[in-house]
Each structure stands twice: as structure tokens, then as C-alpha cells.
Amino acid sequence: MTARANTAAFERTPLIPRVACSAGPVDLSTTLCGQRMTMPVMLAPTGLAGLVHPDGERGAAQAAQRSGCLMVMSGAATYTIEEVAAAAAPPWYQVYLWRSRSFYTELIERAAAAGVPGLVVTVDTGAKGRKEKDLENGLTVPPRLTLRNGIDTLRHPRWVAGVVRGRRVVVKAFDGPEPSRLAGLVARASGSADMVTDQMISATWAELEWIRSVWRGPLAIKGILDPRDARRCVELGAEVVVVSNHGGRQLDGVIASFDALRGVLDEVGDALEVVVDGGIRRGTHVLKALCLGARACMIGRPWVYGLGAGGGAGVAAVLEQFRSELTVALTLLGAGEVTRLDRSFLAAPSGT
């Protein structure tokens, strides 16, 4: 329900274009914590991308660099921080809170050593959500073979060959830096799944304060929906809040990210930078979020679909599609530059 509501929230809010405006060059560029982006679109952290295509997070990071966009690398990635940072501009890095503070402290230290510019702490994973589509499709570890996914696997021999050849099906935060032998992949993947299921803890403000004390760069808190929590992030000293409901994959039935965005921005204003994630499928969705006051938008499913279709090149194609849509929409909106957008370009949501 929430996954559909995320996109529907954007569709309910119409844009109000202005005409007869000066026809200057379109400028999509913006910054996040001083880091320049050629457009306000970021790649959201998405785990196990190497299972979709062997290029995985490394190919996505290379595509983001070519497009002049920022990427947040998942803490459940199938490449190590060091592998990705060696192949492209170091992305921002996302961490979960684990029972072992020493474990994620080591990840934070490795991220800093690799030149990661910003840290993103996801705070809405205190329990593993009931992902009904994954259960329906047998996407468990080890995989549950059903007639449906068995037939689907046989219909995609090139994907199977890529998975076997690439061996990118384990969470590299839990595995060693070297690719696992094929015989041990399932066991290692099962161990990774146990870590994800059993070792995450609910975020506490005390733990976030501790992370703030050890991480010297920009800090983003991801998974904020309540304006009161956004205010706590300001008090914490975070530079960025990511308004997100995890794409509806954690707690179904929660408020849509775009609907939550207005309240968060009303509460924190310019006290920090706000990014939104969830349901963004086209350039006009990005513009609507920026009109409310967001600095940028994260996309998850779109870049993963692009990765599956064409590896890193597919991710680059998705980003260029967003760039094309943004350029046309911004021109027709009569703004010219994304930094000129404000709420006067938005009508009241339908049904309110």
C-alpha cells in the first residue's frame, strides 16, 4: 500500500507553470553539503545490487560519476567500500545500527579511509519488515524454489550465467574482500541474512549522538517521517535529513514520503538540508519535491531496474532520462533554474 501511495502523493499535487518568462539556459545543478551535483537526483542505497547484475554497486557508482550525480552506497552492498571507491568517485556510505558497535565502527573507519564524503545512518530498520513480495517470490536466503521462480529462472539463462560468473550475491560488509568460492556462496549468503535479521537494533538518540561524535564529515539521518524527529536531528548536529519510509518495504501503511516532506520542512526550515526518497519515478516528481523545499531526491527502484536491464550503462541511461525530463519540465514550468523553485509553483493537493 505504501509503495503505491508514495508515487500517488506526487500525482495528487499539480504544478502551476508560468509563461512569458525569460528564456535563459536551464540550470539543474545544486549541492549537498557543498558537494556539487549536476542535477538534484541521487542513487539511493539499495542492497544486494550485484544479485541484479554483476556490475552491482561498482557499476552504479561509475554511472553516477559520469552523470555528475551522488550515490549512497548500501551497507548491504555486494562490493566492498574499497572496491567501489577504487573504481569511481567515493560515494556516500550508508550504515545500519548493529548490536556490535565495534562492527559498524570498523565500517565507519573504513569509509573514512576510503575518502567517503558523507555518512548516511538508516534508522527505520530496528526489525526486519515483512516484505510480502519477497515471500511470494521466494526471495529468501537460501532461496525458496517455487514453480513460478523456477520457470522464471530458466527463462533468463544470461542472468543466471552473470550471477555465477560475477559471484556477487553476498553482503561484502560481512564477507572477506576476496570473491567467495561458488560452493560457499549459499552458506555465506545465509550468514549475511542472519546478520541482517538478528543483529540490527532500534536506533536510539544516544547511539546517533555517539556516531556524530566519531564521524567528522557530513551526517545524514535516513528514515525520518515525523517533524519532531527532524527537529531532534537538528539538535543532534546532523547536516542532512532523508525523508523516507524505506519504499514501503519496512512498515506498510505509513505516510507517503512526499506527504511527510512538507511537515518536516515546515519544522526544520533551513536548519539542515532535506532529501526525500520514495515513489520518485519521473522528472516532475523531482521538481515537486524541490518546490516544497527539498534539496534533492533519491531514486531506488528506477536505478536498480536500469542496472538489471543494462548494468552500469543501464543506470547511466536512467539518470540521463531523468536529466532530459527535468530539463524539459523546468523550461515549461518557467523557472529556468532549480534554485528558483518554491511553493508558488505548486497547487493544493487534490482531495484536500
Q: How many independent structural domains does the chain possess? A: 1
> What mean pLDDT comes out for the span 194-198?
50
Q: Are 2 and 248 in contact (CB under 8 A)?
A: yes
DSSP 109: H
Residue 26: CATH number of its domain = 3.20.20.70
**DSSP structure string for 11-59:** HTS-B----S------B--EEETTEEESSSEEEPP-TTGGGT-TTHHHH
Asked whether residue 316 is domain-assigned, the answer is yes
Q: d(Cα 40, Cα 276) in Å, to the nearest integer?
A: 11
For 62, what's the count of Cα atoms within 13 Å in the CB-facing half-sphere? 14
Asked whether residue 259 is domain-assigned, the answer is yes
The answer to which of 149-158, 304-313, 343-352 has the lowest mean pLDDT is 149-158
Return all residues near 152 (Cβ < 8 A) that are at least 6 apart.
none
Q: d(Cα 305, Cα 314) in Å, to the nearest integer?
A: 8
Q: Which residue has the higher pLDDT, 166 or 204?
A: 204
216, pLDDT greater than 50: yes
Whole-model pTM? 0.88
pLDDT tens-digit series, residues 114-172: 999 999 999 987 656 555 665 565 555 555 666 676 666 656 667 666 666 665 666 77
Asked whether residue 90 is domain-assigned, the answer is yes
Q: d(Cα 170, Cα 179) in Å, to the nearest integer?
A: 9
Domain range enclosing 245: 2-127+200-345
- Give the closest residue to 123 by CA, choosing from 284, 265, 242: 242
Q: d(Cα 24, Cα 324) in Å, to the nearest integer?
A: 17
Average per-residue pLDDT for the chain: 85
To the query of whether residue 156 is one of the catalytic residues in this protein, the response is: no
219-224 and 119-122 strand pairing: parallel
The residue ranges of DSSP E strands in the chain, in sequence order, are 30-32, 35-37, 41-43, 70-73, 92-95, 119-122, 219-224, 240-244, 273-277, 296-299
Asked whether residue 140 is domain-assigned, the answer is no
Asked whether residue 331 is domain-assigned, the answer is yes
Q: Other CB atoms closer than 10 Å to residue 214's CB: what's the count?
A: 12
